[in-house]
Structure 1
C-alpha cells in the first residue's frame, strides 16, 4: 500500500476491508472518499493500551515524525460554541491560542473536554481522527502533515490505527491546510 515507514511493524490492510477496526463515522467518511483515495488508506489492529502516541510509536517502531495527532479545540463567540479539529505531527503541538484561535474567530480557544469530544465525534478518546468528524467543523491540518508520504492517525477506536497518505487529509470535508499550525 506504500504506507511504510510510517506503519513501522504494523501490517495495514485496506481500511474498508476491516470496518470492525473503525468507528462508525470513520467508515462512512472513508466510503465518501473517491475510491482511489479510500483504497490508499490502511488500518491495523493494535493493543488498545498502546493507543497513546508515544507508547504506540515505541511499541510498533513507527517514527514519531510520521505520527499525527488530532485534537478537538473549542471556543465561543457571541454565545456560539465553535469547534475545530487540529491535525499536527506528533513532534509538534497545535498552536491553539494563536493560529487556531484566529482561524475559528474566538477570544480564547482551548482543548475540548474529553467527554464532550467523545460525545460529539462518536469516537473513543485516544482514537479521535480527522475522518468522520461532525459536519461544519473546521479540520485544520498542518502543512507538514499533508507533505508526509504517509502518517499514522487514529481510527476512531483505541484498538487500531489508520495509516494514510498525508495528502488524503486535505480531501476531507472541512479540511484546510495551515502553515505553522504545529509548533
Structure 2
C-alpha cells in the first residue's frame, strides 16, 4: 500500500520513482530527469482495466480526475506537426478547431495507432505526456490543473500514473490550454 499521497477512489499508488518497472522505458527515462518526479505515483492494474471507463468503475475513480492523452498530427508545407493532447476523461480534445489552430495546420487528425505507439515507445491505451518525443507538443487542458490528483497513462496498460493536477503544467514541454477539452 502507498502512503496516501496518491490515494484516489480505491486506487492507492506508490512512488513512481521506486517502481519504474511499471513504466514504459521512455516514461521511466523522462521521470528520472524530471525535477517533479517525486510527486508522481503509480498504481499497478490489470491491463484489461486500462480503458478509462472500465478503470473508473473498477477503482471508483471520478471521470474528471482522468487525464486522457491523444496524439494528433497535421501538415503544413510538407512538415508534419504533432501534439499530444491531455484532456479530462469526461471531455474530448477540440482537435478540429483549437488544436488545429495551435498547430497552424489546415487539417488535424488522430495519429494512426501503429505510428503513435512506434514513435512514442508506449502501448496503445497507455500513451502519456511524460516521455514523448521532444518534437511533439504537449497540450494540457487547464481544467486538469484544478484536480487534486489526475490519473494518466504510464506508457503501458498494466499501470497508471497519479499526479497532482497543478504539476501537469510542469511536465516537460507542457503548454496549458484553456478550453482544450470540450
Q: Same fold (TM over 0.5)?
A: yes
Deviation track 1:128-154 (CA, whole Å, cap 9, x = no partner) reads 000101012110000001221110000
SS in 2 for 1:128: coil
Cα 1:66–1:163 shift into 2, 3 Å? same
TM-score w.r.t. the length of structure 2 is 0.95
TM-score w.r.t. the length of structure 1 is 0.95
Unaligned stretches of 5+ in structure 2?
A: none
Q: Distance in 2 between matches of 1:167 and 1:33?
A: 15
Superposition misfits of 4+ residues, deviation over 6 angstroms: none
Q: Distance in 1 between matches of 2:142 and 2:179?
A: 8
Matched, 1:75 2:61: no
Aligned to 2:158: 159
Which of 3, 8, 13 is the matching residue for 2:6? 3
Task: Give RMSD over aligned pairs.
Answer: 1.0
Q: Distance in 1 between matches of 2:70 and 2:9?
A: 23
Unaligned stretches of 5+ in structure 1?
A: none
Matches within 5 A, 1:12-91: 12-34=13-35, 37-91=36-90
Deviation track 1:37-85 (CA, whole Å, cap 9, x = no partner) reads 2111100100101100000100111111101100001010111111000
Alpha-carbon shift at residue 87 of structure 1 (Å) = 0.3
Higher alpha-carbon deviation: 47-56 or 24-33: 24-33
Q: Distance in 2 between matches of 1:150 and 1:10?
A: 11
Contact 2:68-2:89 at 8 Å conserved across structures: yes
SS in 2 for 1:26: helix
Matched, 1:100 2:103: no
SS in 2 for 1:132: coil
Q: Distance in 1 between matches of 2:29 and 2:52?
A: 25
Alpha-carbon shift at residue 171 of structure 1 (Å) = 1.3
